[in-house]
Amino acid sequence: MSTKFNDLIPILICEDVQKSIDFYCRVLGFEVTDRMDDVGKTGWASLRNRRVQLMLGSPAYLPEPKKTDGKYPQKNDPSQKLKLHLHQSQ
């Protein structure tokens, strides 16, 4: 059994969400569809440009991963599980 996806919206972690919003809108033609300016260090936003959607979040928006042996887990570490957050559109 497999799951069929209609779309996938990535969240990009940005040091300064407000500056990133300005760049994506002014330079790349995105529009803000939702935003929370008081989340994390510099906020969170959802953007759209035609069929392309993405989210921007400050580093504090996502919890810091736990360190293993004083290091952050790497992508190729099979003992670490990838967390995927899915949102179903209505």
Whole-structure pTM value: 0.64
Domain-wise residue ranges, the chain: 11-61
- Tell me the C-alpha distance between 7 and 27, whole Å: 24
CB 53 within 8 A of CB 31: no
Confidence of residue 4 (pLDDT cuts 50, 70, 90): confident
CATH of domain 11-61: 3.10.180.10
Amino acid identity, position 87? H
Beta strand extents in the chain (DSSP E only): 11-13, 31-36, 44-49, 52-57
The 10s digit of each residue's pLDDT in 43-89 is 899 999 999 999 998 877 666 667 777 766 655 545 545 455 444 45
Q: Tell me how far CA of residue 84 lies from CA of 8, 37, 58, 87, in angstroms.
A: 10, 24, 18, 10
